Amino acid sequence: MNEITVTSADAFDIRDWLRLDLMPHFMCPGCGHGIALRALLWACHELGIKKDKLAIVSGIGCSGRTGAYIDANTFHTTHGRPLAFATGLKLARPDLTVIVISGDGDSLAIGGNHMIHACRRNLDMTLMLLNNEVYGMTGGQVSPTTSAERFTTTTPAGNVEPVFDACKLAEGAGATFVGREATLQTPALKDLLKAAISHKGFSVAEVISDCTEIFGRKNAMGNSAEMVLRQKHTMIPERAQDDRVPEPFKPNPFPTGVFVDQQRPEYGELYEQVRKRARETGK
Amino acid sequence: MSNPTNIQGNAAAAAGAIAAGCRFYAGYPITPSSEIAEQMAARLPKAGGTFIQMEDELGSMAAAVGASLGGVKAMTATSGPGFSLKQENLGYAAMTETPCVIVNVMRGGPSTGLPTRPAQADIMQARWGTHGDHPVIVLAPHTVREIYEETIRAFNLAEALRVPVVVLYDETIGHLVETVTLKEPEEIITRKWAEGPREDYLPYAADEDMIPAFPRPGDGYRTHTTGLTHDERGFPTQDPEKVTAFMERLLGKLETHRDLIEKNELVETEDADVLIVAIGTPARAAKSAIRELRGEGIRAGLFRPVTLWPFPEEALKAAAKGKRAVLVPEMNAGQMILEVERVLAGAAPVRGLNVFNGEPVTPAQIATAVKELAK
């Protein structure tokens, strides 16, 4: 990861970035999405982003509801489609910083097609993909990232489906920036999001987030503090050895860090060349 | 743009869109509407706009609405199967009151149906396709010139009323080439932008016209837009009183502006014994049939809704008054006839002429049916 430069002189106060009149929020006690939200706003603060020029586009689910608390231009769209809405918004308004907040169901199941094509297209926007392994809003159904053998309301005998690795999918589809962090490491998550937002082109930051009340409870994973500490055993920091502890369930070991950080022409700039050619040649 | 040119219906839709100020188009290839995307891909960059071919129909509707949320006039086009997929985000546009235009070039269905053949299979889908009670305006041009003009009017209505507008015509007219003079629009309407204080700003508060001003992202209003039922602040609500107030305004705004929306063509209806009610290709056939029939002394007339939805209830009642019979020729198994029967409520006998084999309705078929009714 590149060295991060602090561009805002003021100390970060999350209250400057939230719609405080919407509090209390709807999230369950211990939900990791609040930590991710804090990391995102911390990153925006350090990058010196202006709230008036920030557009947050989200889909449906717990991740989708998270955007409403941000004091910016927020768009809560339809299930799986936030990347498609954001594509139109960013092309129409390249002056806006566009950040999509989505979930594992939103981006990897119902919106999978939009995700792979957003990666391929390389339009300058950021996807913060909150992965909590479950459909929380609808009561705890299996998702494309639910670990093997885990119990959900639609896998009463344990999950037998293999998981999607969102980062490998993004890399394979051509995203020019791909990284993953867990909510346990909030400063590292903030730095990942800063790098993702600063990146010119389409960037994917996957956030390993806990669903304590529904997924954790169903799988007897302990209280919220125990769940977040569990991330230590299932996350593998960059270049570290696989030293996770044995468990009764097969953990879902994910490496963390930045996996892809490269440059190729950004879609908006390429299209501007199309406009220029059309004006010059009439074709 | 003042010289007569030979132009195809679908190309006229693209020309109308650009003339109306459309600067964003997201599409997905589908017969028989693909020429609109091809035309926009060529024309938009020259006009400083953006064309994008999205990964699917859902995404193309979403991207068009997304561009409009950014403050840019946006359009997409499709045909039956694609129109079904667009319904999800058409509903989002209706709910969030985001202006957009959707062209649906109708082909035979259900399912893949008859991709290259004309039909009027989506008359009801255009009105009721997305879930939930919602406002939508549907315009039904019947000539190439009218496709151009009605596409311009579609943008004006979408912007004025913050509502999705569907331009609906069948494959025959979409692929028809006619000699048309494309005139510059007499009026171009752009949405009313939010102005004034940012503090305590209510994005969904409306005056008597029931149309809230549109907050342009970047102008400092920092509003929330959601497909959830929302209050005047734009945030979700389940308060029955607020939900009722919101829904009454959402559904009531079209009724309030019916004068602006409604448009009909009446052809020799005054003295007619038999009234034909038709749109699109059957309306063209009806005009031809009326000439033939009148030559034989049979008095027929045509009532043609140019704005199909909201349905012109009072105008149809007035036109049908005292008629011996009403004929509804359609290229489907009977869709618009349901609305005609509902509106006339037995005031005159209503008969359908239904062609759903992929062929257009002919003047001869209409003439024969009118003669039966005129007996």
CB A146 within 8 A of CB A163: yes
Query: How far does A27 lie from chain B, in Å, by closest CA?
Result: 15
Per-10-residue mean pLDDT, chain A, length 283 = 53 96 94 97 98 98 97 98 98 98 98 98 98 97 95 96 95 98 94 98 97 95 90 63 46 81 98 96 78
Output the CA angle B153-B56-B30, nearest 5 degrees: 65
Q: Cα separations (Å) of B217 from A51, A60, A132, A251, B66?
A: 10, 21, 31, 43, 11
A22 and B235: CB-CB below 8 Å? yes
| The CATH fold of domain B265-374 | Rossmann fold (3.40.50)
Question: Which residue's structure tokens are 């007619």?
Answer: B272
**Comma-separated ranges of CATH 3.40.50.920 domains in chain B:** 265-374
Query: How far does A82 lie from chain B, in Å, by closest CA?
Result: 8
Within 8 A by CB and 6+ apart from A79, the residues are A59, A60, A61, A64, A106, A110, A111
pLDDT tens readout for residues B303-327: 999 999 999 999 999 999 999 999 9
- Calculate the dihedral angle through the C-alpha atoms of A117, A118, A120, A123, rounding to the nearest 10 degrees: 150
Backbone angles phi, psi at B307, to 5 degrees: -90, 110
Taking the model in full, what pTM does it have?
0.96
Which residues in chain B are closer than 8 Å to A78, comparing Cβ atoms? Answer: 62, 88-89, 92, 227
Q: Which of A51, A77, A275 sits opposite B45 (nearest CB)?
A: A275
Is pLDDT of B152 > 50? yes
A274 and B48: CB-CB below 8 Å? no
Query: How far does B39 lie from chain A, in Å, by closest CA?
Result: 12
* CB contacts < 8 A (A, B): 141
pLDDT tens readout for residues B77-95: 999 999 999 999 999 999 9
- What is the pairing mode between strands A254-255 and A235-236? parallel
Q: Is A226 helix (H, G, I), strand (E, B) or coil?
A: helix
pLDDT at A254: 79
pLDDT at A1: 41
Q: Helices B57-69 and B80-96 meet at what angle, rounded to 10? A: 30
Within 8 A by CB and 6+ apart from A272, the residues are none
pLDDT at A9: 58
Which residues in chain A are closer than 8 Å to B134, comparing Cβ atoms? Answer: none
pLDDT tens readout for residues B235-277: 999 999 999 999 999 999 999 999 999 999 999 999 999 999 9
Q: Helices B363-374 and B280-295 meet at what angle, rounded to 10? A: 60
pLDDT at A229: 87
Interface of A with B in 237-276 (CB under 8 A): 271, 274-275
Q: Cα separations (Å) of A122 from A267, B26, B288, B344?
A: 6, 17, 54, 56
B217 and A279: CB-CB below 8 Å? no
Taking residue B276's Cβ as centre, other Cβ atoms within 10 Å add up to 30
pLDDT tens readout for residues A11-59: 999 999 999 999 999 999 999 999 999 999 999 999 999 999 999 999 9
Q: Which of B48, B63, B226 sits opposite A88 (nearest CB)?
A: B63
| The CATH fold of domain B4-181 | Rossmann fold (3.40.50)
Closest of B249, B225, B248, B229 to residue B239, by C-alpha = B229
pLDDT at A234: 72
pLDDT at A235: 67
**Comma-separated ranges of CATH 3.40.50.970 domains in chain B:** 4-181
Instruction: Give yes or no for A115 touching B (CB within 8 A).
Output: no
Query: How far does B141 lie from chain A, in Å, by closest CA?
Result: 28
Set out the domains of chain A in order of their start, with CATH numbers: 14-281 (3.40.50.970)
CA distance A44 to A198: 10
